[in-house]
Amino acid sequence: MNAATTPGKGAATRELILEHAYELARQDGLEGLSIGALALGVGMSKSGVFAHFGSREDLQLALLDATGKRFFDFVMAPAIKQPRGLQRVRTLVERWFEWARIHQSGCVLVSAVAEYDGRDDSPLRTRVKQQQSSWRSEMARAIRLAMEVGDLRADLDPDLLAFEIYALMLGLHHDAGLFGFEQASRHAHAAIDRLFASYQP
Amino acid sequence: MNAATTPGKGAATRELILEHAYELARQDGLEGLSIGALALGVGMSKSGVFAHFGSREDLQLALLDATGKRFFDFVMAPAIKQPRGLQRVRTLVERWFEWARIHQSGCVLVSAVAEYDGRDDSPLRTRVKQQQSSWRSEMARAIRLAMEVGDLRADLDPDLLAFEIYALMLGLHHDAGLFGFEQASRHAHAAIDRLFASYQP
DNA sequence: GAATAAAACGAACGATCGTGCTATTTTGCC
DNA sequence: GGCAAAATAGCACGATCGTTCGTTTTATTC
């Protein structure tokens, strides 16, 4: 409607493209994502899809951003609605479990870390690094609040606990993909419970 | 020498090819490994390299096997030389740390799990599954021995502890690739110590 | 409805992919 | 040193890759 707000209606198809790209990247990762296959999926021409991003790398970056936002909305947003403390941290973990359950056939973010953990810097790697760093900070913040409230021991290292949780969720993702979600979830849940118990004040 | 033992001296070049393939796959994963780039690396023709394996998939399988064996020799072999008990488990973990330090710019096995955690079965996925399953069994076995000796609590779940260790090592690999080995190693070491402490008899 | 801008198409490009064929070279054995 | 066999090279194929360009269709604005 407004000229200053929406530049055009083609932004909707951009969303559609990213939606399909998300499904493709879940199976073959960001590096396995090809514009030809993507165009076939959305029922457009290759050049039509390409024009929306200008380059494959920009498409990958856009998809990475969209996925990061999706993950944040799915996991962190519900947690923030909880009162600060252990309950918020537990909600965060619980939503993460749900995310892993839905994405047991492959998560774009998890594979992205593995794909760009090399030494040489690329725009993709930089973005992945930013995302992971920011997410770890969010976790550490929630943990710190739980310490202040008194739900967790005051002498713990928030970054360490954030690492421990993150590692267990990585284990969940990997085991879910290989051995099925049920078994992986049992192990991860037990490990998480043991972890929180060990940090009780 | 013997006709029955060595089929030919070309098996040496096969090793050479796998050696170069290993370095390439460390950066781009098994799916990113291309025969053209590999041939360029070893100074051979594409078809010359190709003839050694018959197909790209067989090359990937061979590389996966070779890497698995390499990992086992590097991590498990020194651990077996230790007396059964916690010391053996700790040695195993310690060697794993060393493996992660060397491979902080990318580990073929870690990325292979992420690459083939999809739903549809492929020979690659099957092999990765076998490898990971077998490795987890080895870990659980070492843990069980430590329980029998009395170094670990008798009521723990060996598969769970194996999962917890595996998850922490995954976290180590991922953090080392993104944030550097030093920080990742500190966190992982602290987490491992806390973990073992929690299972003390 | 005409004028204008945005969006999508279609064809082609050079490059690389994995793979099959047929020579040619190299190796091991007598 | 000649001979058979293994190893490698060379060439070509169809397919797909990301990308460019000019045209055509669709949407927006007056």
What pLDDT is recorded for position B120? 86
Counted residue by residue, chain B has a size of: 201
Q: How far is it, in rounded angstroms, from Cα B96 to Cα B102?
A: 10
Nearest by CB: A129 against B167, B168, B178: B178
- Where residue A185 falls (left for φ over 0; alpha for ψ -120 to 50; beta otherwise) is alpha
Q: Round to whole Å and give the CA distance between B137 and A52.
A: 49
CA distance A193 to A97: 13
**Binning pLDDT at 50, 70 and 90, where does residue A9 land?**
confident
Tell me the average pLDDT of chain B.
Answer: 94
Distance A46 CA to D21 C1' (A): 14
Task: Tell me the average pLDDT across B62-66.
Answer: 98
Q: What is the pLDDT of residue B8?
A: 66
Identify the CATH homologous superfamily for domain B6-198.
Answer: Tetracycline Repressor, domain 2 (1.10.357.10)
Using CA atoms, how far apart are residues A180 and B144, in angstroms rounded to an integer? 24
Q: Please check the confidence at residue A6 and state whether its pLDDT lies above 60.
A: no
Which pLDDT tens digit goes with each residue over A36-84? 999 999 999 999 999 999 999 999 999 999 999 999 999 999 999 999 9
Task: Measure Cα distances from B164 to A167, A175, B8, B187 in Å.
Answer: 9, 11, 45, 14
Contact B191 A167 (CB under 8 A): yes
Residue nearest to nucleotide C21 (CA to C1'): B47
DSSP string spanning B142-187?
Answer: HHHHHHHHTSS-TTS-HHHHHHHHHHHHHHHHHHHHHH-HHHHHHH
* pLDDT at residue A118 in the model: 80
Coil, helix or strand at residue B56 = helix
Q: Quickly state the pLDDT bin for B6 (edges 50, 70, 90).
A: low
B95 to chain A, closest Cα gap in Å: 19
Quick one: tokens of A124? Answer: 């993709």
User: What are the pLDDT digits (tens) for B119-134?
Assistant: 889 999 999 999 999 9
* Residue A4: pLDDT over 80: no
Whose CA is closest to B167, among B130, B113, B127, B126? B113
For the ranges A115-119, A153-157, B196-200, the lowest mean pLDDT is seen at A115-119
**DSSP for residue A9:** T
Q: How many CA atoms lie within 13 A of A112 on its CB side?
A: 26
Residue to substitute from B187, B192, B193, interface A, most A β-carbons within 10 A: B187
% of chain A surpassing 70 pLDDT: 96
What amino acid occupies position B5? T
Look up the protein residue whose alpha carbon has the minimum distance to the C1' of C5: A8
Q: A19-57 as b/e, with b when 16 or more CB fall inside 10 Å? A: ebbeebbbbbbbbbbebeebbebbebeeeebbebbeeee
> Given this model, what pLDDT does residue A105 score?
85
Report residue B7's pLDDT band, with 50, 70 and 90 as the boundaries: low
Q: Which of B76, B70, B56, B57 lies closest to B15, judged by CA?
A: B70
Q: Give the integer Cα–Cα distance in Å for A93 and A144.
A: 15
The whole model's pTM is what?
Answer: 0.93
Report how far residue A142's alpha carbon sits from residue A148's, in angstroms, rounded to the nearest whole number: 10
Dihedral (CA of B97, B102, B104, B108) sign: negative
**Tokens read off for A72:** 């944040």
Across the interface, which of B119, B164, B188 has its CB nearest the CB of A191? B164
Pick from A198, A143, A150, A199: which is nearest to A166 by CA?
A: A143
* B65-79 confidence digits (pLDDT tens): 999 999 999 999 999
| d(CA B2, C1' C27) / Å | 15
